[in-house]
A and B are shown apart, each in its own frame.
Chain A
Amino acid sequence: MILTLTEAERQIALGISVAVALGGLVLAAAGTQDTMEVHGWLILVFGAICAIVVIRDLWGPEPPRSRLESYYDEPIKAGIIASMAWAVVAMFVGVWVAALLAFPDLTFDGAWASFGRLRPVHTSGVIFGFGGNALIATSLHVVQRTSRARLPDQLSPWFVLVGYNLFCILAASGYLLGVTQSKEYAEAEWYADIWLVIVWVTYFVLYIRTLARRKEPHIYVANWYFMAFILVVAILHIINNLAVPVSLGHAKSYTIWSGVQDAMVQWWYGHNAVAFFLTAGFLGMLYYYLPIRAQRPIFSYRLSILSFWGITFFYMWAGSHHLHYTALPHWVQTLGMTFSVMLLVPSWASAGNALLTLNGAWHRVRDDATLRFMMVAAVFYGISTFEGSFLAIRPVNSLSHYTDWTVGHVHAGALGWVALITFGSFYTLVPSLWKRDTMYSPALVEWHFWLSLAGTLIYIFAMWNSGIIQGLMWRTYTEEGTLAYSFIDSLRAMYPYYIARTLGGLFFLIGAVIGAYNMWRTIRSAPSSAPVEGDVPLSAATAVARG
């Protein structure tokens, strides 16, 4: 992979690797007596490994000029592999924490294995490790194809991908050590957060530079969504993580926001992380891989415009629906609720646009599990956005809030939408990137599909039941006017559903393992003999001729 970098890029890569390693050394030295020391050494080792990888090929031959006549797909391949590795690890931890809720003694008396530390490993692992790597990989693939332009350089995509995974490793390992700023989905501490800002700004600049080099007159919808995802996540991340460390030698920091403002900033972040990380980015995926696989034109360009601007505008207001019936002023709650309701139609317009695109290709949905992944993902996108707007309505929320219904809703989105669209995209992408005719085993893709669907359905039905039972038990009064159930009564009632949920998660995990195996075997198989035609950037000359 280093041989695809120019000599100058290799030298800069070496410089960055050494700088990262030295940065780790500084953290380790400053953080003796603190968990930050462990992270310092970890960063040092990470930087050193990167430096060694670069040095091994530092004086290798310069890549040929002809490279500029093809797309730069090396980092995309690495991103897919990283994404699947995170998927298997983080979904395994997910099954583990699910089991912990039913069998709380599974902690082996270790603090690291307590629910509070493992849960963020699961959430960050799937959202940022699996989802984030998938988004980086597919966005760089889509932007090159739809711009008919090669990435502007070879170094910055690698910096984004490798740097991003360093962040994910710091986050996940920190949680096990007890390093957390206790903000949901933003648990990583200040030094990891600063590093992510550097990585993310590089990502944004890389994306803009590629778009600027495009040979197509228009920017495709998928790129609108990817741009919204990159830009807004940068804003969210920076504002929610503004914090003051207790000292430069300590991992612990305190947020600059206080009280209910902190809660509001956190859920403005939290909800828009769902909106722009888990929705906008994956809609970018949907808008490229679904029409490619279905071989159909997008149903309606006008509907694309309506849903894009509706989603980006309305989501920004909706975060306060996470704080219904709290110290947050009533009027802020009303805004959050009403904007969530108005958000429904643009969301459904996206799902509908995807499903109507399949008109004329339903026979392919029947026969092709890859396309079926994407079709079902669009259906779950519709289901979970409806459910989201519904749960945001204040009186509904009084029943659902703090119950497993919320957990079920999140997983309808995360499993049914995010993971399925990713698997569908990967199954389209892997054979094409590695130049294979098909996946190693189409039968295993079928197995993966049905296991995922069964797992998702078991999971969300279990959580619907458990959540609604919980909510009802918490609000049931006796005739005498006292609560009928104690909290622990409701916990006991959850037991069978927690076991069912663990089982659903296990199905989904097995599916992901099968998927990872199938992709691995595809990569290891012999390349296709038939040359792929047309999958190259437009040279300036042909672009003019076409224009």
Chain B
Amino acid sequence: MDVERDPVSGRETTGHVWNGIKELDTPVPKGVLIFLIVTHLFAFAWWILMPTWPVGQTYTKGILNTDQRTSVEKHLVDAQAGRAAWMKRIESENLEQIAADPQLMAIVRSTGHRLFGDNCAACHGINAKGGYGYPDLTDDDWIWGGDLETIAQTMRVGVNVEHPQGRTSQMPSFGRDGILDADQVSLAANYIYSLSHPKFVTAANRASVLSGREVFMSNCAICHGEDARGKRDVGAPNLTDARWIYGGDLDQIVETVHGGRQGHMPTWDERLSAADIKILALYVHSLSLPAP
């Protein structure tokens, strides 16, 4: 227990030694004490202002008399009031009226971007260009129809989901369910492929493409139409263009004819407000128009 004087600092040690480790008896620096007092004063002040200490069944409310629940409620009311002017017009005017108003459409585009990103982009992509299994919303190729009201309706009721007015679209699995045999599936797929690829037809395969056409007429035309341009009332896509949901390569078409397709789109009428659906319908519609 020998107290020594440290030559570097000039301080005395405490006299404790542990395996060579010693300690200086330096007093706590003044700065530390001042800083300690400042942080405590800050805490005490905050306790006086804010709800803090539990007292039996209740707690000290603080002289500012604030509470996070009431303050968030006030923020919501204020935020709603800030949007009221244009929101009222979105709610009351019809889609065509809104679309004709450039000022409202500017709001639709900025708000729609955010709504689309949080609700639709997970499937259709942030740029709305879709992907495998999810249609492109920026082209003018619409499965259920591309006018404003039809887009809004598709969002409200969804596709292939439970909803009283829900849209249903079932592409049967022609091969797997034995409706067509493997040759017929292949013939039909070749014919469908030839519709968007005229050069596919050669003198050598003309006969087989024509027999594919027969398979098509008796099995596919009822939904996709004799001209294969699709029918919007049953959600059957146009097969003559170069736009495909599940891929337009020959083997992908074979896969689709063989296994069928039942895509889903959720209903949004209970998740989004009527005004939000209108904004989204207008926003999505505007994406398919040529850039202004």
Contacts and interface: CB of A to CB of B under 8 A. Distances in A.
Interface of A: 145-146, 148, 216-218, 220-221, 288, 291-292, 296-304, 306, 325, 329-331, 333-335, 337-339, 341-342, 344-345, 348-349, 352, 359-360, 478, 480-489, 492
Given A299-B24, A338-B47, A492-B126, 19 more contacts: A145-B18, A145-B19, A218-B16, A291-B21, A298-B23, A298-B24, A299-B26, A300-B28, A303-B32, A304-B23, A325-B68, A331-B50, A333-B68, A334-B46, A338-B43, A359-B9, A478-B110, A482-B111, A488-B118
B199 interface: no
B39 A341 contact: yes
Contacts of B40: 342
A87 to B, nearest CB: 27
Given A145-B18, A301-B24, A482-B83, A489 B126 contact: yes
A338 B46 contact: yes
A478 B111 CA distance: 8
Contacts of B51: 329-331, 334
B110 A487 contact: no
A303 B28 contact: yes
Interface string B1-25: 1000010110001101111111111
Interface string B131-159: 00000000000000000000000000000
Contact of A306 (B32, B62, B117): B32
B117 A329 contact: no
A302 B83 contact: no
B32 A298 contact: no
Interface string B53-76: 110000110100011110000000
A401 to B, nearest CB: 13
Given A146-B19, A302-B25, A330 B82 contact: no
A300 B121 contact: no
Given A292-B21, A337-B46, A338-B46, A302 B36 contact: no
Contact of B24 (A145, A297, A480, A492): A297
Nearest to A147: B18
17 contacts: A146-B18, A146-B19, A220-B21, A221-B23, A296-B8, A297-B24, A299-B9, A300-B28, A301-B26, A330-B50, A330-B68, A331-B51, A335-B52, A345-B35, A359-B8, A486-B126, A488-B126
Nearest to B15: A218
A488 B9 CA distance: 57
Contact of A334 (B1, B6, B47, B82): B47
Contact of A331 (B43, B53, B69, B111): B53
Contacts of B50: 330-331, 334
A297 B6 contact: yes
Contacts of B200: none
B39 A334 contact: no
Nearest to A310: B36
B68 A344 contact: no
Interface residues of B, number: 57
Given A288-B21, A329-B59, A334 B52 contact: yes
7 interchain residue pairs of minimum CB distance? A486-B117, A360-B8, A300-B26, A481-B82, A338-B43, A297-B22, A301-B23
A492 B111 CA distance: 18
B47 A303 contact: no
A339 B43 contact: yes
Given A331-B54, A335-B52, A484 B18 contact: no
B198 interface: no
A492 B52 CA distance: 40
Contacts of A488: 117-118, 121-122, 126
Contacts of B32: 303, 306, 345, 348-349, 352
Contacts of A489: 114, 117, 126
Which has the most chain B C-beta neighbours within 10 Å: A303, A304, A482, A486?
A482
B22 to A, nearest CB: 4
Contacts of B14: 301
Contacts of B79: 481
Nearest to A144: B19
B43 to A, nearest CB: 4
Contacts of B35: 345, 348
A214 to B, nearest CB: 9
A142 to B, nearest CB: 9
Contacts of B174: none
Interface in B102-129: 107, 110-111, 113-118, 121-122, 126
A300 B23 contact: yes
Contacts of A333: 68
B52 A331 contact: yes
A302 B27 contact: yes
A274 B208 CA distance: 73
Nearest to A547: B1
B53, B67, B68, B69, most chain A CB atoms within 10 A: B68
Contacts of A360: 6, 8-9
A306 B29 CA distance: 11
Contacts of B27: 300, 302
A331 B22 contact: no
